[in-house]
Amino acid sequence: MARSHKPVIWGLFAAGGTVAAFLAPVLILISCLAVPLGLLPPEILSYERLLELLQNPISRLVVFAVLVLIIWHAAHRLRITAHDVGMSSDSLVMIACYGTAAAGTLLAMLALFSPV
């Protein structure tokens, strides 16, 4: 047996899980529930308001880091779940899970860092 390379993905998983634990609830609240519940005015999600919030390259970087870490956390956990319910082809599961995470990462890069 040899030392595994799992630490790479597990490090991402742990970081993403921590970020999700601290930030996901408030993110969901603000992005999806605050306006329908009347806690925040609908302008908070307007095109102009979001562009304003994301103007600063630091804030774009932070948003990128948060979203990408959570997506890799979710991808790894779902790979484990697939194993837990008996899916034997780990390679196919890896392609599906990490492939989706990679696509999401790419899309996030395009969304946040391509010149507008």
Partner 1 sequence: MTRRPYKAEFPALSWWLRQPRYIRYMLREMSALFLGIYVLVLIAGLYCLSLGKPVYEQFLTVAEGPVGLTFAVITMFFAVYHTYTWFKVTPKAMPLTLRGQRLPGAVIIAAHWLIFALLSAAVWLLVSS
Partner 2 sequence: MSQRCIELEILRYDPEQDDSPHFQVYAVPYHDDWVVLDAINYVKEELDPTVSYRWSCHMAVCGSCGMVVDGEPVLACHKFLRDCSNRIRIEPLQNFPVERDLVVVMDDFMDKLGSVKPYVIPKEEKDIEDGEYLQTPAELSSFKQYTACINCLLCYSACPQYALNSSFVGPAALALAHRYNLDTRDVGRSARADVVASNSGIWECSFVGACSEVCPKAVDPAAAIQQTKIASTVDYFLDFLTPWKRT
Footprint of partner 2 (CB under 8 A)? 1-8, 10-11, 14, 80, 83-84, 86
Q: What is the DSSP letter of 20?
A: H
| Helix pair 57-84, 90-113: axis angle to 10 deg | 170
Of 76, 105, 70, the C-alpha closest to 90 is: 76
Q: Which does 23 bind (CB under 5 to 8 A by kind): partner 1, partner 2, none?
A: partner 1
Residue 8 vs 37, nearer CB to partner 1: 37
Tell me the C-alpha distance between 74 and 90, whole Å.
16
CB 15 within 8 A of CB 69: yes
Q: Given the structure tokens 């507008």, which residue do they identify?
A: 116
25 binds, options partner 2, partner 1, none, Cβ within 5 to 8 A by partner type:
partner 1
Q: Which residues bind partner 1 (CB under 8 A)?
A: 17-18, 20-33, 35-36, 40, 44-45, 47, 50-51, 53-54, 63, 67, 70-71, 73-75, 77-78, 80-81, 84-86, 100, 104, 107-108, 110-112, 114, 116
Structure-block tokens of residue 74:
């979710």
Between 17 and 108, name the residue whose CB sits nearer to partner 2.
17
